[in-house]
Structure formats: structure tokens, C-alpha cells
Chain A
Amino acid sequence: GAGVSQSPRYKVAKRGQDVALRCDPISGHVSLFWYQQALGQGPEFLTYFQNEAQLDKSGLPSDRFFAERPEGSVSTLKIQRTQQEDSAVYLCASSPRDSAYEQYFGPGTRLTVT
């Protein structure tokens, strides 16, 4: 079966533009996570969805970051008024259930803000 897919794979935005990053999780997976990975660092947690409910958004760095998963499948991470410090790889992961099972990661979207 298909894994987690993300689009676009690469995005270049001018500072101040809004961007939307899409995640298609593995079909039927209840849990969906977003992570941000700076160059040379490990991924950092941004937010978590269980079905359509956003249960944890403690990692979102500012109110310019917004995530949604309206029908409990596809998710979108939106960044408003992008800044250079937003340049990173944004990773999406899904998991079949909400316990200590492995998360399946997508390839990520590399965002470059110029």
C-alpha cells in the first residue's frame, strides 16, 4: 500500500507570503503528526491530530502556524506571513492508533523562505 505522501516536495516562498503544505496519511490511520526539521537537527514536534480533532498544538512556534484535518484524513499545515526562520523541512507522520507504536513518516516538504 501507499505510504505517507506530502506535497509539494519543495516550496520557495518570498518573505511575507502564505504557504500551505499538504499531507496524505496512510489510509485508515487515526493519528497524524507534524514535525519541523531544521538543517542538521532532529525533527521537532509541532502538532497532533486524532482523527479530525487537534489534541496537541503545543509545538507550533507562533500564531502564524495553523494546521487542520477537517475530515480526519488529509491534513494541511499553513504558515502565514512566512519568515526566514521558517525555512526547514516539514514532516508529516501517521500512526494506526494512539499508543506507543511506530509512526510512519512522509518524505517531507522543504520550505525555503527568501
Chain B
Amino acid sequence: LAKTTQPISMDSYEGQEVNITCSHNNIATNDYITWYQQFPSQGPRFIIQGYKTKVTNEVASLFIPADRKSSTLSLPRVSLSDTAVYYCLVVRVSGGYNKLIFGAGTRLAVHP
């Protein structure tokens, strides 16, 4: 599976838009890009998944350029409760299931 690279940490302020970029240069044709969020003392929570172009849900947007070698998670107007670790994953269905490979993630701190 393609290795992902993302910033170790980011800081923001309430009300700002936050963009976290992830590199996955060796992504394969049948790989999806998925983002998870993890709060302290909780398990990771699925945020959004995409294959190409743009995906938007009630939580975030995911931008994927045509070459798919990177992706950007966009969180609009963050609040203090968005302080968490965000993981970018490349997911491939193999043998009928997907084994999630997490990196260290990006620690986002939102300040008042």
C-alpha cells in the first residue's frame, strides 16, 4: 500500500478553515483515500473517503487532484471540539476486506 505523509502537527484558531494535506505518491489505481479523526481516549472515527475530484459531507471536504498523488482534507470554521488527531489512509480492498494502515497522523490544536 502507498505510504502517506502528512504534517505532524498544526495549529489553528476557532472559526478558521483548516486544510491538511497528505502525500501518497505511490497510490494504485484501485486505492481509495480515507480520513479518520481520533479524540483522546476514543477510537478513530471515519470522516470522509474519496477516489478523485471533490467529496463533501456535513463534516469536511476532500480534494483530490487528477494525479491522485496527494489529497487535502478541509475543515470549515473549526471549533475547539475539532482538536484531535487526523489520519490520512490509503485503503485497498484485498481478499475481500480492507486492512487499515495508519501513520502517526496530524495533531490539530484549535485555540480560542
Q: A91-B43, A107-B43 are in contact. Are A99 and B96 (CB under 8 A)?
A: yes
Q: Mark A79-114, 1 if CB is under 8 A from B, else 0.
A: 000000000000111010011111111111000000
Q: Which of B49, B93, B96, B100 contacts A43 (CB 8 A)?
A: B100
Q: A55-B97, A103-B46 are in contact. Are A44 and B34 (CB under 8 A)?
A: no
- Residue pair A48, B99 in contact (C-beta under 8 Å): yes
- Residue pair B97, A98 in contact (C-beta under 8 Å): yes
Q: Mark A28-67, 1 if CB is under 8 A from B, else 0.
A: 0001010100001111110010100001100000000000
**Bound-complex Cα distance A33 to B97 (A):** 10
Residues of the B chain whose Cβ atoms lie less than 8 Å from the Cβ of A92: 43
B13 an interface residue at 8 Å Cβ cutoff? no
Q: A99-B93, A100-B49 are in contact. Are A45 and B43 (CB under 8 A)?
A: no
Residues of the A chain whose Cβ atoms lie less than 8 Å from the Cβ of B96: 50, 98-99
The total of interchain contacts (Cβ-Cβ below 8 angstroms) comes to 70
Q: How many residues of chain B are within 8 Å of chain A by beta carbon?
A: 25
- Residue pair A102, B99 in contact (C-beta under 8 Å): no
Q: How far is the CB of A88 from chain B (nearest CB, A)?
A: 13
Q: Which of B44, B85, B99, B103 contacts A105 (CB 8 A)?
A: B44
Residues of the A chain whose Cβ atoms lie less than 8 Å from the Cβ of B34: 100, 102
B80 an interface residue at 8 Å Cβ cutoff? no
Enumerate 16 A-B pairs (CB-CB under 8 Å) in ascending A order.
Answer: A31-B97, A41-B104, A42-B103, A44-B102, A45-B101, A48-B99, A93-B100, A99-B93, A99-B96, A99-B98, A100-B49, A100-B93, A102-B46, A103-B98, A107-B41, A108-B41
